[in-house]
Amino acid sequence: MNSSIFVVMGVSGCGKSTVGARLAAALGFPFLEGDSLHSARNVASMAAGFPLSDEDREGWLRTLAEHIADARAAGRGLVVSCSALKRAYRDILREGASDLHFVHLHGDHALLEARMAARTGHYMPLSLLGSQLATLETPGADEDAQQYDMAMETDAIVTRVMAHWPATRLLLKQ
């Protein structure tokens, strides 16, 4: 049984949810939309145009880490979408499972703006993109992270993710 756990990360508008859901489907894993676990207070704050502080994010990140730990304890694979903007945030997620695979989606600022402006029904306003970009710490070489340009086709990203990590290669042959 494959129990790899992936965190699809990046700033708002990069495609975390789309890529995460497609990767989960390709792997036959559950998908956890990280944004769905934000507190009502956090959502209201972001919707009002206020960026979250480290303290605001901590409870949310710990909740995600608990879901990750539950999947690890059950021997289940999982794909999570989470901005995971700072190494410290990723460290909290790794408390759930130390061997997380990070899929960092990044791209052109203008494309991020266009995607955010075009989406409907999401609480994250375009005005917070700058603070997210300023907060983002690109994963280090020691973090088991791969970076993909968000302008790539979703299926191409998923195929490359699955080809990169050895535990998923067996799934490609089935």
In the chain the domains, ranked by start, together with CATH numbers, are 5-173 (3.40.50.300)
pLDDT at 173: 38
pLDDT at 22: 96
Per-position pLDDT tens, the chain of length 174:
478 999 999 988 788 999 999 999 999 999 999 988 988 898 788 778 787 888 999 999 999 999 999 999 999 999 999 999 999 999 999 999 999 999 999 988 887 878 767 666 666 656 677 788 888 999 999 999 999 999 999 999 999 999 887 655 444 434
Amino acid present at 104: H
Packing angle, helices 166-173 and 154-164, rounded to 10: 110
Residue 174 confidence (pLDDT): 40
pLDDT at 170: 43
pLDDT at 59: 94
Q: Does the predicted TM-score (pTM) go above 0.85?
A: yes
